[in-house]
């Protein structure tokens, strides 16, 4: 397989002077001398006009001669080459691609909506021009395929309650998922001579049909986690209260009274609403 060949044709400004001299000089001499002998110079000058090549910054021209690859011009400026060359313009600028939102199944089989933002540019003009049919369409198709594969490799979220304690998830592991996406796209787009500058998830959400149920599930998980912290803190506070009472010998509590005290403290500390105090004016047994 051929590779990219960098060429630099003749300076276009020098050739512009020569071509104008041939074309207009031939016309003037034909009129002055009144002879058709200078007509070939006019024809040569006219054909030479098609040999000028203008290359703008961050663009390139792929040069072909009757279907044969000659080389690529990447230096910007005005050049002149064989008028029979075929020129194909390929941009070297960085391009953004925001994919459509795709419905795919994550690792756990849950349908999610996902899209990606890709920043890319052409680095090998030969591959971009001849190894794929349309390199811009190739980028779009391969990006969609890479996103579908990526979504199937990771779960949307981490649900430890069902035994799916995953280290990497689509929602929380942004850096890891972006690195995996970039690596996948680099492998897929290398055939077209395209460099991946950045790839990241642009949109991520559960599909509409399960979004409501998953929202309730996330809320329930958050409530359970909060309750766990509250109970853990309450137990520590009760333990500390018993230790301080025993240490300072404020009151001597037997096991039954300790149990009652623990029960009351846990109700107060773990309850959703503020407890209503009850003043006991009798003995401890009442």
- The total domain count for the chain is 3
Q: Which residue has the higher pLDDT, 62 or 233?
A: 62
Q: Where are the alpha helices (DSSP H) in 249-282?
A: 255-270
pLDDT in tens, 177-195: 888 888 989 989 988 899 9
Contact status, residue 62 vs residue 88, Cβ threshold 8 Å: yes
Mean pLDDT in residue range 58-84? 89
Neighbours of 55 (CB within 10 A): 20
Provide, rounded to the nearest whole percent, the portion of the chain with pLDDT above 70.
73
**Are residues 169 and 78 part of one domain?**
no
**Are residues 238 and 199 part of one domain?**
no
Distances in whole angstroms, Cα of residue 22 to Cα of each of 47, 78, 80: 11, 19, 15
Q: Which residue has the higher pLDDT, 275 or 95?
A: 95
Beta bridge pairs of residue 103: 113
- Residue 6 is predicted with a pLDDT of 87
Domain boundary among 42, 67, 89: 89
- Residue 1 is predicted with a pLDDT of 46
pLDDT in tens, 130-160: 888 888 999 999 988 888 888 888 887 775 5
**Are residues 80 and 109 part of one domain?**
no
Does some domain include residue 280? no
Q: How far apart are CA 96 and CA 78, in angstroms?
A: 29
pLDDT in tens, 6-47: 888 888 888 888 888 888 888 888 788 777 777 888 888 888
**Are residues 239 and 172 part of one domain?**
no
Using 50, 70 and 90 to split pLDDT, how confident is the model at 62?
very high
């Amino acid at each position: 397989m051929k590779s990219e060949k960098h060429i630099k044709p003749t300076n276009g400004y020098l050739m512009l002077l020569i071509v104008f001299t041939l074309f207009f000089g031939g016309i003037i001499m034909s009129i002055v001398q009144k002879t058709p002998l200078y007509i070939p110079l006019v024809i040569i000058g006219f054909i030479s006009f098609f040999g000028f090549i203008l290359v703008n910054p961050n663009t390139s021209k792929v040069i072909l001669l009757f279907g044969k690859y000659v080389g690529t011009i990447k230096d910007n400026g005005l050049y002149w080459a064989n008028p029979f060359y075929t020129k194909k313009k390929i941009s070297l600028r960085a391009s953004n691609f925001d994919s459509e939102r795709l419905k795919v199944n994550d690792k756990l089989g849950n349908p999610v909506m996902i899209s990606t933002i890709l920043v890319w540019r052409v680095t090998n003009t030969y591959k971009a021009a001849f190894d794929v049919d349309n390199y811009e369409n190739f980028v779009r198709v391969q990006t969609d395929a890479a996103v579908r594969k990526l979504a199937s490799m990771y779960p949307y979220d981490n649900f430890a309650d069902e035994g799916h304690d995953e280290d990497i998830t689509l929602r929380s592991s942004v850096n890891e998922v972006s690195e995996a996406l970039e690596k996948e796209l680099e492998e897929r787009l290398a055939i077209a001579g395209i460099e991946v500058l950045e790839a990241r998830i642009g949109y991520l959400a559960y599909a509409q049909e399960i979004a409501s149920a998953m929202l309730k599930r996330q809320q329930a998980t958050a409530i359970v986690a909060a309750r766990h912290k509250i109970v853990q803190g309450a137990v520590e506070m009760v333990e500390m209260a018993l230790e301080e009472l025993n240490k300072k010998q404020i009151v001597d509590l037997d096991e039954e009274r300790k149990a009652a005290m623990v029960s009351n403290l846990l109700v107060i500390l773990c309850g959703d609403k503020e407890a209503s105090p009850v003043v006991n004016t009798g003995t401890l047994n009442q």
